[in-house]
Every structure is written in structure tokens, then in C-alpha cells.
Amino acid sequence: MLASMTPFFRDAPGAARVARLARTAACIPEPLLDDLEALVIQLNDTELVGGDIAIHLVEIGYCNARYHDAVAFASALRSRLRRYVRSPGVAEAAREDFKKRIGWWRMGPPRF
């Protein structure tokens, strides 16, 4: 999929960092993937999980957030999802933050 996006994505800020994550995704250990699957099922909130992933990928691309590889990214995601499970208030605050940030992105710069 990344290859098909290359013409659109190649010149984007942070594209190399996001591409490195994609290239190392196969290295994510099975137990970590199992943990993520269980947390996603437990949360049962695709908007929250998808928003979290999207926000953090944008931060890699545009805000200089850095992860060594996909394992580090997935581990950080697991930590955030665990906090959401433990504390519904944290999850609700994240939802509100994501809505505001995504709203700003949607407004974005005008296209000419």
C-alpha cells in the first residue's frame, strides 16, 4: 500500500520516518500484537483507537515525534490503550482532544 501512495507521500514532511515504521512493521512481536488486539477489543471504540493512531502518525510526520521503529510505536500505543482501559476519564479526554485536532486539520489551508 505504501508503494501505491509514494507519489503523494514522498515529499510530505516526515515521510521517511513514517516509511521506516512501515518497513519495520513485520518485526512487531506476536505477543505485542496479541496485547494490542485484546486492548482494542476491550475498549470497543474504533474511533478512539483509530484517532490515537492517526494523531500519532501525524505527529511523526509533522511534529517531529520520533519512534525508533514500529515496535516502539506499537509499544507506545499499547501503553496509551492500557491507560484508556484503566481510566475512562483519560480515554474521554483523549477523544475530545482528537476531535479538536482533527477538526483543525479538516479546516486546513485553502486549496487553490
pLDDT tens digits for range 35-80: 999 999 999 999 899 989 988 888 887 777 888 899 999 999 999 9
pLDDT tens digits for range 31-42: 999 999 999 999
pLDDT tens digits for range 8-36: 566 766 778 888 888 899 999 999 999 99
14, three cell numbers: 516526515
Residues 103/48/70/78 CA torsion (nearest 10 deg):
140
Total-model pTM: 0.78
Q: How confident is the model at residue 112 (pLDDT cuts 50, 70, 90)?
A: very low
